Amino acid sequence: DQQVKQNSPSLSVQEGRISILNCDYTNSMFDYFLWYKKYPAEGPTFLISISSIKDKNEDGRFTVFLNKSAKHLSLHIVPSQPGDSAVYFCAAGPRAQKVTFGTGTKLQVIP
Protein backbone atom coordinates (compact mmCIF):
# COMPACT_ATOMS: atom_id res chain seq x y z
CA ASP A 1 0.00 0.00 0.00
CA GLN A 2 1.73 3.13 -1.24
CA GLN A 3 0.99 5.83 1.32
CA VAL A 4 2.99 8.47 -0.51
CA LYS A 5 2.57 8.68 -4.26
CA GLN A 6 4.38 10.59 -6.93
CA ASN A 7 2.39 9.77 -10.01
CA SER A 8 4.70 11.45 -12.51
CA PRO A 9 7.89 9.45 -12.93
CA SER A 10 9.47 12.18 -15.04
CA LEU A 11 9.11 15.82 -15.99
CA SER A 12 10.88 18.01 -18.57
CA VAL A 13 10.93 21.77 -18.25
CA GLN A 14 12.66 24.53 -20.15
CA GLU A 15 15.30 26.52 -18.29
CA GLY A 16 13.79 29.61 -16.70
CA ARG A 17 10.30 28.16 -16.52
CA ILE A 18 8.48 26.84 -13.47
CA SER A 19 8.82 23.18 -12.45
CA ILE A 20 5.91 21.74 -10.47
CA LEU A 21 6.35 18.38 -8.82
CA ASN A 22 3.37 16.75 -7.20
CA CYS A 23 2.89 14.32 -4.35
CA ASP A 24 -0.22 12.73 -2.83
CA TYR A 25 -0.53 10.95 0.48
CA THR A 26 -3.22 8.84 2.06
CA ASN A 27 -2.42 8.79 5.78
CA SER A 28 -4.23 11.55 7.65
CA MET A 29 -1.81 11.09 10.56
CA PHE A 30 1.02 12.59 8.52
CA ASP A 31 2.01 15.96 9.96
CA TYR A 32 5.35 16.66 8.36
CA PHE A 33 6.32 16.70 4.75
CA LEU A 34 9.75 16.95 3.20
CA TRP A 35 11.28 17.09 -0.24
CA TYR A 36 14.63 15.55 -1.06
CA LYS A 37 16.74 15.86 -4.18
CA LYS A 38 18.94 13.09 -5.48
CA TYR A 39 21.72 13.20 -8.04
CA PRO A 40 22.99 9.97 -9.62
CA ALA A 41 25.43 8.01 -7.45
CA GLU A 42 24.74 10.21 -4.44
CA GLY A 43 22.44 9.92 -1.46
CA PRO A 44 19.35 12.14 -1.34
CA THR A 45 19.78 15.58 0.20
CA PHE A 46 17.16 17.50 2.09
CA LEU A 47 15.62 20.38 0.20
CA ILE A 48 12.64 21.85 2.02
CA SER A 49 9.96 20.86 4.49
CA ILE A 50 6.55 21.93 5.71
CA SER A 51 4.46 21.05 8.72
CA SER A 52 0.71 20.62 8.71
CA ILE A 53 0.13 23.93 10.49
CA LYS A 54 1.23 25.75 7.35
CA ASP A 55 0.09 25.68 3.76
CA LYS A 56 3.17 27.21 2.19
CA ASN A 57 6.89 27.34 2.85
CA GLU A 58 9.35 29.20 0.69
CA ASP A 59 13.13 28.98 0.45
CA GLY A 60 14.67 30.91 -2.40
CA ARG A 61 13.58 29.41 -5.69
CA PHE A 62 11.82 26.52 -3.94
CA THR A 63 8.29 26.67 -2.54
CA VAL A 64 6.30 23.81 -1.09
CA PHE A 65 2.52 24.00 -0.96
CA LEU A 66 0.37 21.79 1.24
CA ASN A 67 -3.33 21.14 0.71
CA LYS A 68 -4.37 19.07 3.71
CA SER A 69 -7.96 18.57 2.65
CA ALA A 70 -6.79 17.09 -0.65
CA LYS A 71 -3.82 15.31 0.96
CA HIS A 72 -1.64 16.84 -1.70
CA LEU A 73 1.62 18.70 -1.72
CA SER A 74 3.63 20.22 -4.48
CA LEU A 75 7.10 21.61 -4.97
CA HIS A 76 7.54 24.64 -7.20
CA ILE A 77 10.93 25.59 -8.57
CA VAL A 78 11.12 29.04 -10.13
CA PRO A 79 13.07 29.73 -12.24
CA SER A 80 14.24 26.24 -13.11
CA GLN A 81 17.95 25.81 -13.78
CA PRO A 82 19.85 22.97 -15.48
CA GLY A 83 21.50 22.15 -12.13
CA ASP A 84 18.04 21.33 -10.77
CA SER A 85 17.95 18.23 -12.96
CA ALA A 86 17.71 15.38 -10.47
CA VAL A 87 15.25 12.95 -8.96
CA TYR A 88 12.96 14.55 -6.40
CA PHE A 89 11.42 12.51 -3.59
CA CYS A 90 8.65 13.65 -1.33
CA ALA A 91 8.45 12.14 2.13
CA ALA A 92 5.83 12.31 4.83
CA GLY A 93 5.31 11.12 8.37
CA PRO A 94 3.67 11.73 11.71
CA ARG A 95 5.69 13.76 14.18
CA ALA A 96 8.92 12.20 15.35
CA GLN A 97 8.30 8.94 13.54
CA LYS A 98 9.78 7.37 10.48
CA VAL A 99 8.92 8.92 7.14
CA THR A 100 7.53 7.24 4.09
CA PHE A 101 9.08 8.17 0.77
CA GLY A 102 7.44 8.45 -2.61
CA THR A 103 8.87 6.76 -5.66
CA GLY A 104 10.43 9.93 -7.03
CA THR A 105 10.05 12.20 -10.05
CA LYS A 106 12.96 12.68 -12.40
CA LEU A 107 13.20 16.32 -13.39
CA GLN A 108 15.09 17.36 -16.49
CA VAL A 109 15.65 21.05 -17.04
CA ILE A 110 16.48 21.71 -20.67
CA PRO A 111 18.90 24.58 -21.34
Partner 1 sequence: GAGVSQSPSNKVTEKGKDVELRCDPISGHTALYWYRQRLGQGLEFLIYFQGNSAPDKSGLPSDRFSAERTGESVSTLTIQRTQQEDSAVYLCASSLAGTGVLYEQYFGPGTRLTVT
When binding is defined by CB under 8 A, the residue of 44, 80, 88, 109 that contacts partner 1 is 44
Using the rule CB under 8 A, give the single segment among 14-22, 62-70, 77-85, 100-108 that binds partner 1. 100-108
Give the number of other Cβ atoms within 10 Å of residue 26's Cβ. 13
Q: Is 39 in the site for partner 1 (CB under 8 A)?
A: no
Please report the DSSP string for 15-32 in residue order.
Answer: TTS-EEEEEEE--TT--E
End-to-end Cα spacing for the chain = 38
| Residue 100 binds partner 1 (CB under 8 A) | yes
Binding site for partner 1 (CB under 8 A): 6, 31-32, 34, 36, 41-46, 49, 51, 89, 93-104
